[in-house]
Homo-oligomer: A and B are copies of this chain.
Amino acid sequence: MASSETPPDVYDSLRPVPRQRLYLQLVEKLTDFIEREGLRAGQRLPPERELAASLSVSRASVSQALVALEVQGIVDVRHGDGAVLLHEPLGVQVIATLRSRRSRLPEIIEARYALEVKLAELAALRRTDDDLARIDHALALMAVQVSAGDRGEAGDEAFHSAVTAAGHSGLLADIMGEIAPAILETRIESLSQPGRPEASLDGHLAIADAIRSGDPVEAARAMRVHLDLVSDVALLRGDQDIRTHFDHQS
């Protein structure tokens, strides 16, 4: 296929990103335009046809961009009338939001911080011997997998699930269950990095120790440290969102 040979453009390797979707570029241009023109809420954007012509893209693409802005609540597109600005988009904010939403991984990490740190606390306070047994079992499982060269995501999942159960909070557990499938994706990605399964296992041990000794503060701290590991991965392949973890427990 003609693709593999270097295209007309000589050094187009300057394109690190697989090229952003057109509608996202257009969203950016539109928000720029709004700012540049100083448009306020209630004012109208130029007609689609006009935008398409001046940006040299098809109407369909402009329309997609408007859908994106509409979903974000920035404009209201009115049939037969035009696209009315609802809120000023606050500059780079919008496009940053859109970009970070394209991959929700950063948000998933944030949710894990919120939920699992709390669950670790609760687990330290409430774990029964039975809970501890489940946690230990998960640790053993992952240890076996890791020493066998496996990524050990099954053990990883079992561990987090055991901690969640040990927290004895039905509501939090339900919420965790809801985002669990999404977490799985980050899990696999994280554990695919060299040396990561071992590091993750260490983190688990620290968390388990804290839970065993009934120390909620330490359990929360250990969980944060553990999640920092995961978030690094996610941010690696995801887009550069604002760092979600900072100097915890200063």
Chain A positions within 8 Å of B, measured between CB atoms, are 18, 21, 23, 40-42, 60, 63-64, 67-68, 70-73, 76-77, 79, 86-88, 90, 93-94, 97-98, 101-105, 107-108, 110-111, 113-115, 117-119, 121-122, 125-126, 128-130, 168-172, 174-175, 178-179, 181-182, 184-185, 216-217, 242, 244, 246-250
Contact = CB atoms under 8 A, between A and B. Distances in A.
Identical subunits present: 2
A73 B217 CA distance: 31
A130 B170 contact: no
A114 B118 contact: yes
Contacts of A72: 71, 101
A249 B64 CA distance: 44
Given A42-B185, A76-B103, 15 more contacts: A41-B182, A63-B64, A67-B71, A68-B68, A71-B101, A86-B103, A88-B181, A90-B128, A107-B170, A110-B169, A111-B171, A114-B114, A121-B246, A125-B244, A217-B246
Contact of A170 (B104, B216, B246): B104
A151 B234 CA distance: 43
Contacts of A101: 70-73, 170-171, 174
A50 to B, nearest CB: 20
A200 to B, nearest CB: 20
A199 to B, nearest CB: 24
A60 B59 CA distance: 11
Nearest to A104: B73
Nearest to A250: B217
Contacts of A244: 121-122, 125
Given A93-B128, A98-B71, A175-B175, A41 B119 contact: no
